[in-house]
Chain A
Amino acid sequence: MTKSTLSLNERRLLAALAPLGTADAAELGAILGAAPDAVVQYANLLAQNGELATVERVVEKSYDLTDEGRQYAEKGLPERQLLASIGGPTPMAELKAHPLASIGIGWLRRKGWVTIREGVVERAGEAPEGEDERALLAEPLTDGPGLRDLLKRGLAVERETVGYRVAITPAGRTLVEAGLDLREEVGQITHEMLLTGTWRDAALRRYRVDRLPRRAVPGKIHPYQRLLDEMRRILLEMGFVEMGGELVQTGFWNFDALFQPQDHPAREMQDTFYIGGEADLPDGWEKVRRMHEHGGETTSTGWGGIWQESKARQQVLRTHATALSIQYLAAHPAPPIKAFAIGRVFRREAIDPTHTPEFEQLEGIVMDEGVTFSHLLGFLREFYSRLGFPQVRFRPGYFPYTEPSVEPEVYVEGLGWVELGGAGVFREEVTVPLGLEHPVLAWGLGASRLAMLKLGLKDLRQLYRSDIDWIRETPIRGRR
């Protein structure tokens, strides 16, 4: 430590201490015009900052007479006063009439100042002044056998006073000899100081860089939103157009147009949030019905059974972003198309650490003349590697609206191969009723799962019911 880190108070104390060498805090306080407690605080800082001073805790004992003791100091101890009242042989009964008899007679006998024979009291010799009597008159009261007696007799009490003695060390002295700046310190540089230039002569308070100030937190985009934005940026860089759409969808767009059979378990009210009301179907919906019932004009058999218009009219909270893709394609049937959506979807799940009834899903589609399943795998590899997963593998998968279907997996250190989304080529049963003439490559990805991997989360609820300390502490620059 150097003097530069000393506060003005510390420097002033050191300066006051130098001529004294050693002094009580109280004494120093008087010199500096500060409370002794403050002096001790500065002295401790001096002790910590390079051992410029030492601080010693001193406990001093002092004694005071009690009220009774003070009376006796004036008039003598009871036995002395009693003795003075005995002229010659005195009958005990007479002596007992003296106001101090009850205390004094015992002490007269104990000190051997009288003899008592057959009820008559007589002086016995000189009765010299005892140590207790000298102690009683001492100024100040000092420890010794006499005082001990007074303490025992309850005529005096002991008190402890704690004081601090501060001493300058050689290091402190060296510092003082080198000269201390004892000018008043300036905390804030003011407008006036800048205008007048007095800042040049000011002693600016120095701050310590090993003491962190109160932490500042910038306004921040949510860590999960940043991840979603990163995915969006990647897809925009790859030339994709962003799709959007309503949270409320018809069964038609959410399921039927995607060739999801009407009795598919995902359509049951245990899995999907229905909201009541019926909506209109788009023109050409009959083609979708024919596809479900018998495969329309394709080589498909369809699902068979009866396709119910009423189920297609039901309204649901969208269960996947594919509901947006299919509507986008219906509205943009001409190739080339590269489009994506990132949006919230809903599944009827109870909330727990790994399930939430709503989460973000990413969906990407490519429609062009001559695109193939190989191209789909290529887009997946490209997207995942840009997202920070260079190792991607593909496994067969199954989705009602794609064929072939694939489940991409990425390699994650410590976890192995992790399934991340699903993909496939839209079935003809999906594309033909909409009049699409070219293959559609599609993939989807649950972004909240990705968030768990990327943000190291163990509990999905953190995304939506965030602990704001988590947001405060998650750095803007994400893991790469």
Chain B
Amino acid sequence: MPVITLPYRYLERLVGLPREAIVERLPMFGSDIERREEDHVDVEFFANRPDLFSTEGAARALRGFLGLEEGPVRYETAPSGIAFSVDPGLAEIRPYLGSAVVRGLSLDEEAIVSLMGLQEALHWAVGRGRRKVAIGLHDLARIRPPFRYLASPRDRRFVPLDFEEAMSMEEMLERHPKGRAYAHLVAEAPRFPLIVDAGDSVLSFPPIINGELTRVSTGTTDVLLDCTGTDRRAVETATTILCTALAEAGGRLETVEIDGVTTPLLAPSFREVSVGECSRLLGLDLDAATVAGLLRRMRFGAEPTGTDRVRVEVPCYRADIMHDWDVFEDVAIAYGYERFPAIPSKTATTAEELLSTRLKREVREALCGLGYLETMPFVLTSDEVLFGRMRRELAPDVLRLLHPISEDQSVARTSLLPLLMELLEYNRFRELPQRLFAVGETLRGFVTGLGTAAVSCHGAADFSEAYAVADALCRELGLAYSAVESDDPAFIEGRRGALVVGGVPVGVFGEVHPEVLGAFGLDHPVAAVELDLSALL
């Protein structure tokens, strides 16, 4: 979730309340306070509310939530007369464009930092790492309309932001930090997206980098916005949120003609919701007037249109409203989560535990009774631990992660004994004897199984101890087994046995091979038992 910095002075000015009164209510509005500093507070808003990712957007919502204003803000737009064209050659590359002009801004350093923060948060939450949308803001005084969004040859040269010399767009993907970070979004395209002005000066190479030419600074008053992307809805959302935030910051919005279509529209959408459905979902007894009033606090337009109906005007920036229940959640937030009755339903059901839970408990009872301590090792481990150090042959059906973080955790355990050997290694300086066991899931291929293993490490650990434990465990679990010679290379020849149930080998026991001990850094003998419990489920 993005962390948004809210500078107190700016926030107080936009909301109209002292900081304490605001910050105190933030959690109940739906945000996590990350940290409080002397001049600002850092808060996390949820990923579904990108309209809150700026001080301006957060203040707009808080003025409603805190009861200072209600109903929707309607943003006026005037035509700018500026035209923008989109090259049909972008259809397979990055076809969608949103744009607007904002005039009369007076941006100080703080406002620019805030704007950059909003852009970054939108790139993440709406743009999915700039793929669906990338945003550019340009100093309008430096460029001449009309503007063209085109599919450019990849060797077009211009000076990218933060650089002094011109380079080709291909070079930017290798040399510019943003180029390296986002190259994967365009690298395969035969031509690159490019925005130029009437004089063919470059504004931007979306979604990679703007040109140095149109850098926004404290002297900038008029701004051209471009949002380009691969998803029409996301482009509209980002455009709307940026425009309305800039309007909240004091800018005047003007529309742009994109291939003859006026944008942005900033038009609300409408829903008619059922008050009864809302009450049934929330478990409250609400009437239409109450629901409408609560929604207006959340900055919706809302009027009752009957005893059970409320007509809801959803502001253009509320991209999260997909379903009537999204509206009902805002009713709940405005009502106050702390005011809900919070009583469980009388739903009558009979408890039942899993068979595997019961089996695990029985294994625990048996092994704890034999003096073993339970451990809960990781499922993820390595070929080296499972097979290499155990002198065992690599199992062909070991489940392998496609993108492990490290070699140490790149496969899923096929059995538990190697993990216990590793735990003995971690604890090799602890007092002996050490008797450890684990019971839990194992994986063979994609299939989850259940297994257990027990190890006993001390100066006199031997085959007989392992056999006795294996026998006790099988007896307690009601496993009618027969023991035969084993050929498991993890154990010493002549000191190892296999447990066979119904002709199927299900386990092994014996004295762990000294080479295995050595591989795990152990210098005392280990008596071990390993048992697959899957057949008991």
Q: How far is the CB of B28 from chain A (nearest CB, A)?
A: 6
The reply to whether the CB of A224 lies closer than 8 angstroms to some CB of chain B is: yes
The reply to whether the CB of B128 lies closer than 8 angstroms to some CB of chain A is: yes
Stretch at the interface among B106-114, B188-196, B287-295, B443-451: B443-451
The reply to whether the CB of A428 lies closer than 8 angstroms to some CB of chain B is: yes
Contacts of B440 in A (CB 8 A): 344
Contacts of A395 in B (CB 8 A): 27-28, 30, 337
In the complex, residue of chain B having the shortest beta-carbon distance to the beta carbon of A429: B323
Stretch at the interface among A14-22, A148-156, A466-474: A466-474
Instruction: Decide: B30 and A222 in contact? CB cutoff 8 A.
Output: no
Q: How far is the CB of B393 from chain A (nearest CB, A)?
A: 22
The reply to whether the CB of A165 lies closer than 8 angstroms to some CB of chain B is: no
Stretch at the interface among B75-83, B159-167, B346-354, B474-482: B346-354
The reply to whether the CB of B332 lies closer than 8 angstroms to some CB of chain A is: yes
Contacts of A351 in B (CB 8 A): 409
The reply to whether the CB of A298 lies closer than 8 angstroms to some CB of chain B is: yes
Q: How far is the CA of A301 from the CA of B269 in the complex (A)?
A: 12
| Cross-interface CB contact of A468 among B124, B402, B430, cutoff 8 Å | B430
In the complex, residue of chain A having the shortest beta-carbon distance to the beta carbon of B360: A225
In the complex, residue of chain B having the shortest beta-carbon distance to the beta carbon of A382: B344
Instruction: Decide: B430 and A248 in contact? CB cutoff 8 A.
Output: no
The reply to whether the CB of A325 lies closer than 8 angstroms to some CB of chain B is: no
Instruction: Decide: A338 and B349 in contact? CB cutoff 8 A.
Output: yes
Q: Quick one: given A378-B344, A467-B426, are A370 and B280 in contact (CB under 8 Å)?
A: yes
Instruction: Decide: B441 and A247 in contact? CB cutoff 8 A.
Output: yes
Contacts of B353 in A (CB 8 A): 232, 236, 242
Contact digits for A239-274, partner B, Cβ 8 Å, 1 yes 0 no: 111111111100000000000000101000100011
Contacts of B372 in A (CB 8 A): 219
Q: Quick one: given A379-B344, A396-B28, are A276 and B400 in contact (CB under 8 Å)?
A: yes
The reply to whether the CB of B368 lies closer than 8 angstroms to some CB of chain A is: yes
Q: How far is the CB of A56 from chain B (nearest CB, A)?
A: 40
Contacts of A295 in B (CB 8 A): 322-323
| Cross-interface CB contact of B281 among A238, A372, A466, cutoff 8 Å | A372
Instruction: Decide: B446 and A427 in contact? CB cutoff 8 A.
Output: no
| Cross-interface CB contact of B412 among A247, A368, A379, A471, cutoff 8 Å | A247
Stretch at the interface among A105-113, A135-143, A398-406: A398-406
Instruction: Decide: B379 and A366 in contact? CB cutoff 8 A.
Output: no
Instruction: Decide: A219 and B435 in contact? CB cutoff 8 A.
Output: yes
Contacts of B401 in A (CB 8 A): 273-275, 317
Contacts of A380 in B (CB 8 A): 342
The reply to whether the CB of B282 lies closer than 8 angstroms to some CB of chain A is: yes
Contacts of B349 in A (CB 8 A): 239-241, 336-338
Instruction: Decide: A396 and B441 in contact? CB cutoff 8 A.
Output: no
Most chain A Cβ neighbours within 10 Å, of B27, B124, B325, B412: B325
Q: How far is the CA of A245 from the CA of B441 in the complex (A)?
A: 11
Instruction: Decide: A219 and B323 in contact? CB cutoff 8 A.
Output: no
Instruction: Decide: A248 and B448 in contact? CB cutoff 8 A.
Output: yes
Instruction: Decide: A242 and B324 in contact? CB cutoff 8 A.
Output: no
Q: How far is the CA of A478 from the CA of B431 in the complex (A)?
A: 24
Cβ < 8 Å to B, chain A residues 265-318? 265, 269, 273-277, 279, 295, 298-305, 315, 317
Contacts of A247 in B (CB 8 A): 379, 412, 441, 443, 448
Instruction: Decide: B323 and A304 in contact? CB cutoff 8 A.
Output: no
Contacts of A222 in B (CB 8 A): 373-376
Cβ < 8 Å to A, chain B residues 387-429? 399-406, 409, 412, 423, 426-427
The reply to whether the CB of B328 lies closer than 8 angstroms to some CB of chain A is: yes
Most chain B Cβ neighbours within 10 Å, of A218, A274, A279, A375: A375
Contacts of B344 in A (CB 8 A): 375, 378-379, 381-382
Q: How far is the CA of A344 from the CA of B32 in the complex (A)?
A: 27
Contacts of A248 in B (CB 8 A): 399, 443, 446-448
Instruction: Decide: B340 and A299 in contact? CB cutoff 8 A.
Output: no
Q: Quick one: given A300-B322, A428-B325, are A397 and B371 in contact (CB under 8 Å)?
A: no
The reply to whether the CB of A2 lies closer than 8 angstroms to some CB of chain B is: no
Contacts of B409 in A (CB 8 A): 351, 357
Q: How far is the CB of B257 from chain A (nearest CB, A)?
A: 25
In the complex, residue of chain A having the shortest beta-carbon distance to the beta carbon of B272: A299
Contacts of A405 in B (CB 8 A): 329
Contact digits for B308-351, partner A, Cβ 8 Å, 1 yes 0 no: 00000000000000111110110011000110111111011111
The reply to whether the CB of B270 lies closer than 8 angstroms to some CB of chain A is: no
Q: How far is the CA of A237 from the CA of B350 in the complex (A)?
A: 9
Instruction: Decide: B128 and A265 in contact? CB cutoff 8 A.
Output: yes
Instruction: Decide: A378 and B329 in contact? CB cutoff 8 A.
Output: no
Contacts of A464 in B (CB 8 A): 376-378
The reply to whether the CB of B46 lies closer than 8 angstroms to some CB of chain A is: yes
Q: How far is the CB of A37 from chain B (nearest CB, A)?
A: 30
In the complex, residue of chain B having the shortest beta-carbon distance to the beta carbon of A305: B231
Instruction: Decide: A244 and B271 in contact? CB cutoff 8 A.
Output: no
In the complex, residue of chain A having the shortest beta-carbon distance to the beta carbon of B342: A377
The reply to whether the CB of A217 lies closer than 8 angstroms to some CB of chain B is: yes
Instruction: Decide: A239 and B281 in contact? CB cutoff 8 A.
Output: no
**How many chain A residues touch the partner (CB < 8 A)?**
97
Contacts of A304 in B (CB 8 A): 231-233
Q: How far is the CA of A219 from the CA of B326 in the complex (A)?
A: 52
Q: Quick one: given A348-B405, A375-B343, A468-B436, are A394 and B322 in contact (CB under 8 Å)?
A: no
| Cross-interface CB contact of A469 among B340, B343, B430, cutoff 8 Å | B430
Q: Quick one: given A219-B368, A357-B405, are A366 and B350 in contact (CB under 8 Å)?
A: no
In the complex, residue of chain B having the shortest beta-carbon distance to the beta carbon of A274: B402
The reply to whether the CB of B434 lies closer than 8 angstroms to some CB of chain A is: yes
The reply to whether the CB of A434 lies closer than 8 angstroms to some CB of chain B is: no
Contacts of A236 in B (CB 8 A): 351, 353
Most chain B Cβ neighbours within 10 Å, of A237, A275, A276: A275
Instruction: Decide: A472 and B373 in contact? CB cutoff 8 A.
Output: yes
Q: How far is the CB of A92 from chain B (nearest CB, A)?
A: 79
Instruction: Decide: A220 and B373 in contact? CB cutoff 8 A.
Output: yes
Instruction: Decide: A246 and B447 in contact? CB cutoff 8 A.
Output: yes
Contacts of B412 in A (CB 8 A): 247, 317
Q: Quick one: given A222-B376, A246-B448, A396-B329, are A377 and B340 in contact (CB under 8 Å)?
A: yes
Q: How far is the CB of A208 from chain B (nearest CB, A)?
A: 23
Q: How far is the CA of A217 from the CA of B128 in the complex (A)?
A: 53
Cβ < 8 Å to B, chain A residues 403-420? 403-406, 419
Q: How far is the CA of A129 from the CA of B200 in the complex (A)?
A: 132
Cβ < 8 Å to B, chain A residues 92-139? none
Q: How far is the CA of A380 from the CA of B344 in the complex (A)?
A: 8
Instruction: Decide: B430 and A242 in contact? CB cutoff 8 A.
Output: no
The reply to whether the CB of A373 lies closer than 8 angstroms to some CB of chain B is: yes
Instruction: Decide: A224 and B376 in contact? CB cutoff 8 A.
Output: yes
* 8 nearest A-B residue pairs (beta carbon): A372-B283, A374-B283, A396-B30, A398-B46, A219-B368, A404-B329, A378-B344, A377-B342
Q: A244-B354, A472-B373 are in contact. List 12 more A-B contacts (CB 8 A).
A: A219-B368, A232-B357, A247-B448, A273-B403, A274-B403, A371-B347, A373-B283, A380-B342, A463-B376, A465-B377, A468-B430, A471-B373
Q: Name A residues whose Cβ lies closer than 8 Å to a Cβ of B.
A: 217-222, 224-225, 229, 232, 235-248, 263, 265, 269, 273-277, 279, 295, 298-305, 315, 317, 335-338, 344, 346, 348-351, 356-358, 366, 368, 370-375, 377-382, 393-398, 400, 403-406, 419, 425, 427-429, 439, 463-469, 471-472
What would 17 A/B residue contacts be, using CB atoms closer than 8 Å? A220-B374, A222-B375, A225-B374, A235-B351, A247-B379, A265-B128, A317-B401, A336-B347, A358-B379, A375-B343, A377-B337, A381-B342, A396-B333, A398-B49, A404-B281, A465-B423, A467-B426
Q: Name B residues whose Cβ lies closer than 8 Å to a Cβ of A.
A: 27-30, 32, 46-49, 124, 128, 131-132, 231-233, 271, 280-284, 322-326, 328-329, 332-333, 337-338, 340-345, 347-354, 356-357, 361, 364, 367-380, 399-406, 409, 412, 423, 426-427, 430-431, 434-436, 440-441, 443, 446-448
